[in-house]
């Protein structure tokens, strides 16, 4: 597996056979805290890559930086061969890199179908003057609506088509946000904790949707805490801790990596707590 | 004063050019707040720029009526751009602060002695509507009786034009809000980051909304000053803005006919309360009130009604109850 994706051995910052996103020297500091400090990372095209790490590892900040929602102190990155550093978020999306948010952003007072329609790119009717001339955008609108309906069906939201998005459950909103991102036909879809707050029954169908994305040729990069899920669907795992990339590789191997275990469980995970206590008592503490 | 004259006055308030002026400002505010979520507390300034732009173009530049209307529109568009470009990238509250401050600054400036040669200072401008009334096709001796209120030919003419503008504004809004353009605005109102992540230039849409809402308000301002042909700084105080907000919330913020219903109800109610209180004071029923206090006390009552409305019917008269339930 490592050979299909990476050139050479799997190691933090290793080169990929066919990267879609390459980031170099991305640093983001909040005052004295360095939230993100990524020297080099490549995201493989057409694969599902999981970005994991403990709370506060800088995963979401890294997402925000890559998509233009936050500005780094330094760093460059290219998407599909084109420089993307300092590009406004809406232009990032137009280039084919569409993200979702950890705290779901369903547009509550729009219907589900309008949420979906809004996701489509290059809409003629979104121009001010063109919006008055319905014949200019009617056909495109029908096309968009047809796309939206088929996606809603795939995500089992078709029954909710005319409901306000605000009336959906948390899990359904996650689904809607993912489906809406797909309306833009992204080359790379970036999902920030797609499973957070989703019930287990729905998780299974979400996993299937993410796998479907890959089979349609879309690259997926997602942040997740659930190890079971990561193991189940990802082709490649990148581990972040304290802002840095500490490990990379196929899921089965990464899980065994000492750096990952340290990052998640602490560097002294294998030390018996009982022994620590006895030692400290003996030392007179 | 009898019942017929009370209702005649209220009826006239329903359709008066002043009511229409406020209605158009409220429609503009519906574009800003109802559809895009922009907090504009300086709608008076947009209306004032319409009124002053028109009057100055007519009196000083000697432009014809169409050129003057265009100039009034351009003034408020320019104002929207000046306010919007620096503030629309910031959080929503900053626009509120900047608009309320800019509206006050503008009002003090046009009333100052520095600006007097152009704006007429605190006395304002007058007699700029001759060409408008010359366009009146109605016979000059026509009178229209609305109960005990008698309207002259010119007064009927401005009411016809004013309501025609309202109809056009509503058609314009209908076309905009059902289009994909309007959908982007509503998306921005709900969550602008989500819309940004979908590849829409949020800043550009917010600026467009600010300019369009401001332009509609400036038309309202022109009609407002046209009925009396006087335009004074005191017309455009913060109370103008807050009455506009009241009308918008009365009718329903994100609706097409809300501002119309809200405006008509508001002014009919103001007139009714004034008349009824006036009668009661005359009859000695309210010994603690003087006749000259009646005009002030009605604002208090309207405020009370507004509070009750916001508590018991937050969506306004014509809003959709469902839309209110997801707030938060």
User: DSSP secondary structure string, A202-217?
Assistant: HHHHHHHHHHHHHHTT
Residue B44 falls within a domain, yes or no? yes
Residue B282: its pLDDT value, please?
86
Of the candidates A110, A125, A184, the beta carbon closest to that of B187 is on A110
Helix axes B238-251, B43-59, angle to 10 degrees: 120
| Distant-in-sequence, close-in-space partners of B294: CB < 8 Å, separation ≥ 6 | B274, B277, B278, B281
Asked whether the predicted pLDDT for residue A247 surpasses 60, the reply is yes
Neighbour tally for A219: CB within 10 Å: 25
3-class secondary-structure state, position A123 = coil
**Confidence label for A276 from pLDDT (cuts 50, 70 and 90):** low
The pair of structure tokens assigned to A108 is 């509550």
**Which of B198, B215, B319, B327 is the mutation pick for testing A, counting most A CBs within 10 A?**
B198
**Mean pLDDT score, A127-145:** 94
If asked whether residues A257 and A149 sit together in one domain, one would say no
If asked whether residues A89 and A143 sit together in one domain, one would say no
A94 CB near a chain B CB, below 8 Å?
yes
If asked whether residues A152 and A181 sit together in one domain, one would say no
Beta-strand (E) ranges in B4-52? none
Name the domain count of chain A. 2
Asked whether the predicted pLDDT for residue A104 surpasses 50, the reply is yes
| Distant-in-sequence, close-in-space partners of A282: CB < 8 Å, separation ≥ 6 | none
- The Cα A256–Cα A71 span in angstroms is 34
- The Cα B122–Cα B103 span in angstroms is 16
3-class secondary-structure state, position B146 = strand
Lookup result for tokens 């008076």: B44
Residue A42 per-residue DSSP state: E
Helix (H) or strand (E) holding A170: helix A170-183
Of the candidates B201, B208, B323, the beta carbon closest to that of A109 is on B323
Which chain B residues contact residue A137 at CB under 8 A?
179-180
Of the candidates B180, B193, B194, the beta carbon closest to that of A126 is on B180
Asked whether the predicted pLDDT for residue A43 surpasses 50, the reply is yes
Which chain B residues contact residue A166 at CB under 8 A?
325-326
Which chain B residues contact residue A177 at CB under 8 A?
194
Q: Using H for helix, E for strand and C for coil, what is the string for A90-117?
A: HHHHHCCEEECCCCCCCCCCCEHHHHHH
If asked whether residues A132 and A175 sit together in one domain, one would say no
- Residue among A74, A145, A106, A49 nearest B198 (CA): A106
CB contact under 8 Å between B186 and A119, yes or no, is no
If asked whether residues A52 and A154 sit together in one domain, one would say no
- Residue among A74, A50, A77, A57 nearest A66 (CA): A77
| Distant-in-sequence, close-in-space partners of A2: CB < 8 Å, separation ≥ 6 | A9, A10, A249, A250, A253
- The Cα A260–Cα A281 span in angstroms is 31
Most confident region among A179-183, A279-283, B248-252 by mean pLDDT? A179-183
Q: Return the residue of B nearest to A113 by Cα.
A: B183
Cβ atoms of A238 and A225 within 8 Å: the answer is: no
Q: With b meaning 16 or more CB within 10 Å and e meaning fewer, what string describes A174-207?
A: bbbbbbbbbbbbbbbbbbbbbbbebeeebbeebb
Neighbour tally for A115: CB within 10 Å: 30
A67 CB near a chain B CB, below 8 Å?
yes
Residue A200: its pLDDT value, please?
79
Percentage of chain A with pLDDT > 90? Answer: 58
Handedness of CA B84, B86, B88, B94 (dihedral sign): negative
Digits of tens for pLDDT over chain B (328 positions)? 588 888 899 999 999 999 999 999 999 999 999 999 999 999 999 999 999 999 999 999 999 999 999 999 999 999 999 999 999 988 888 999 999 999 999 999 999 999 999 999 889 999 998 999 999 999 888 888 888 889 999 999 999 999 999 999 999 999 999 999 999 999 999 999 999 999 999 999 999 999 999 999 999 999 999 998 999 999 999 889 989 998 998 888 888 899 999 999 999 988 888 888 888 888 888 888 887 888 788 888 877 877 887 788 777 777 776 655 554 3
Structural domain that includes position A123: 111-167
- The Cα B153–Cα A109 span in angstroms is 46
A179 CB near a chain B CB, below 8 Å?
no
Cβ atoms of B234 and B121 within 8 Å: the answer is: no
The pair of structure tokens assigned to A90 is 């809406």
For A148, A249, B305, B310, the CA distances from B251, given in Å and listed in that order, are 33, 60, 13, 11
Which chain A residues contact residue B200 at CB under 8 A?
90, 118, 126
Q: Return the residue of B nearest to A138 by Cα.
A: B179
Name the domain count of chain B. 1
If asked whether residues A248 and A118 sit together in one domain, one would say no
Q: How far is CA B215 from the centre of its chain?
A: 11
More confident residue, A175 or A283: A175
Which chain B residues contact residue A88 at CB under 8 A?
201
- The Cα B199–Cα A92 span in angstroms is 7
Residue B325 falls within a domain, yes or no? no
Q: What is the pLDDT of residues A1-20, one digit of tens each?
A: 446 788 877 788 888 889 99
CB contact under 8 Å between A119 and B198, yes or no, is yes
- The Cα A50–Cα B97 span in angstroms is 44
If asked whether residues A129 and A79 sit together in one domain, one would say no
Lookup result for tokens 């005359």: B282
Which chain A residues contact residue B181 at CB under 8 A?
125-128, 130-131
**Mean pLDDT score, A51-76:** 92
CB contact under 8 Å between B198 and A184, yes or no, is yes
| Distant-in-sequence, close-in-space partners of B68: CB < 8 Å, separation ≥ 6 | B53, B54, B55, B57, B58, B61, B128
Neighbour tally for A242: CB within 10 Å: 16
Neighbour tally for B148: CB within 10 Å: 15
Q: Return the residue of B nearest to A99 by Cα.
A: B197
**Mean pLDDT score, A163-167:** 92
Residue B1: its pLDDT value, please?
59
Neighbour tally for A66: CB within 10 Å: 28
CB contact under 8 Å between A67 and B187, yes or no, is no
Residue B300 falls within a domain, yes or no? no
More confident residue, A208 or A117: A117
Q: Return the residue of A nearest to B184 by Cα.
A: A118
Asked whether the predicted pLDDT for residue A225 surpasses 90, the reply is no
**Which of B169, B186, B194, B209 is the mutation pick for testing A, counting most A CBs within 10 A?**
B194
If asked whether residues A158 and A181 sit together in one domain, one would say no
If asked whether residues A208 and A124 sit together in one domain, one would say no
More confident residue, B295 or A65: A65
If asked whether residues A100 and A115 sit together in one domain, one would say no
**CATH number of domain containing A47:** 3.40.50.300
pTM, 2 dp: 0.90
If asked whether residues A88 and A180 sit together in one domain, one would say yes
Residue B226 falls within a domain, yes or no? yes
**Mean pLDDT score, A61-68:** 94
If asked whether residues A180 and A66 sit together in one domain, one would say yes
Least Cα separation, residue B36 to chain A (angstroms) = 12
Cβ atoms of B95 and B88 within 8 Å: the answer is: yes
Least Cα separation, residue B31 to chain A (angstroms) = 13
**Which of B31, B171, B179 is the mutation pick for testing A, counting most A CBs within 10 A?**
B179
- Choose the final residue of a domain: A167, A186, A203: A167
Residue B97: its pLDDT value, please?
93
- The Cα B318–Cα A143 span in angstroms is 33
What is the ipTM for the molecules in this complex? 0.87
Structural domain that includes position B104: 21-145+153-254
Mean of pLDDT over chain A:
87
Q: Please provide residue A85's backbone torsions phi and psi, each rounded to the nearest 5 degrees.
A: -70, 135
């Amino acid at each position: 597996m490592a050979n299909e994706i990476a050139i050479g051995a799997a190691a933090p910052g290793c080169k990929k056979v066919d990267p879609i996103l390459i980031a170099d020297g991305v640093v983001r500091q909040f005052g004295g805290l360095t939230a993100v400090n990524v020297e080099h990372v490549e995201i493989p095209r057409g694969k599902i890559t999981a970005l994991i790490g403990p709370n506060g590892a800088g995963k979401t900040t890294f997402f925000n930086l890559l998509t233009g929602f936050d500005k780094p102190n330094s760093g460059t990155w290219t998407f599909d061969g084109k420089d993307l550093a300092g590009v406004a978020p809406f232009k990032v999306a137009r280039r084919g890199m569409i993200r979702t948010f950890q705290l779901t952003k369903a547009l509550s007072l729009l219907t589900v179908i309008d949420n979906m329609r809004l996701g489509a790119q290059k809409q003629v009717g979104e121009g001010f003057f063109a919006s008055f001339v319905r014949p200019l955008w009617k056909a495109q609108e029908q096309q968009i609506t047809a796309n939206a309906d088929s996606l809603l069906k795939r995500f089992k939201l078709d029954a909710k088509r005319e409901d306000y998005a605000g009336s959906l459950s948390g899990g359904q909103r996650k689904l809607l946000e993912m489906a809406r991102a797909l309306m833009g036909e992204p080359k790379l879809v970036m999902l920030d904790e797609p499973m957070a707050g989703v019930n287990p029954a729905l998780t299974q169908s979400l996993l299937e949707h993410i796998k479907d994305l890959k089979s349609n040729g879309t690259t997926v990069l997602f942040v997740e805490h659930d190890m079971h899920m990561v193991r189940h669907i990802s082709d490649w795992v990148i581990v972040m801790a304290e802002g840095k990339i500490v490990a990379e590789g196929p899921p089965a191997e990464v899980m065994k990596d000492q750096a990952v275990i340290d990052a998640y469980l602490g560097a002294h995970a294998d030390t018996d707590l009982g022994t620590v206590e006895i030692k400290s008592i003996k030392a007179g503490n | 004063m009898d019942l017929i004259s009370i209702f005649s006055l209220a009826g006239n308030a329903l359709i008066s050019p002043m009511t229409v002026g406020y209605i158009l400002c409220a429609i503009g505010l519906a574009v800003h707040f109802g559809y895009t979520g922009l907090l504009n507390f300086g709608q008076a300034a947009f209306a004032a720029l319409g009124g002053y732009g028109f009057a100055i173009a007519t009196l000083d530049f000697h432009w014809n009526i169409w050129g003057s209307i265009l100039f009034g529109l351009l003034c408020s568009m320019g104002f929207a751009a000046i306010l919007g470009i620096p503030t629309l990238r910031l959080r929503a509250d900053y626009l509120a602060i900047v608009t309320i401050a800019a509206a006050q600054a503008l009002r003090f400036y046009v009333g100052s002695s520095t600006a007097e040669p152009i704006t007429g200072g605190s006395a304002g401008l007058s007699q700029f509507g001759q060409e408008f009334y010359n366009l009146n096709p109605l016979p000059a001796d026509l009178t229209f009786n609305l109960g005990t209120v008698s309207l002259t030919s010119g007064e009927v003419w401005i009411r016809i034009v004013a309501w025609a503008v309202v109809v056009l504004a509503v058609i314009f809004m209908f076309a905009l809000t059902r289009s994909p353009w309007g959908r982007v605005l509503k998306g921005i109102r709900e969550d602008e980051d989500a819309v940004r992540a979908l590849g829409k230039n949020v800043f550009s849409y917010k600026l467009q909304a600010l300019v369009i809402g401001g332009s509609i308000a400036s038309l309202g301002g022109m009609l407002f000053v046209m009925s009396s042909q006087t335009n004074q700084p005191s017309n455009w105080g913060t109370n103008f803005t807050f009455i506009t907000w009241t009308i918008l919330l009365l009718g329903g913020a994100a609706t097409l006919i809300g501002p119309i219903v809200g405006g008509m109800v508001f002014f009919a109610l103001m007139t009714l309360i004034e008349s009824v209180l006036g009668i009661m004071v005359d009859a000695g029923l309210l010994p603690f009130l003087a006749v000259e206090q009646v005009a002030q006390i009605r604002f208090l009552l309207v405020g009370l009604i507004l509070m009750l409305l916001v508590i018991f019917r937050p969506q306004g008269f014509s809003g959709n109850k469902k839309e209110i339930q997801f707030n938060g």
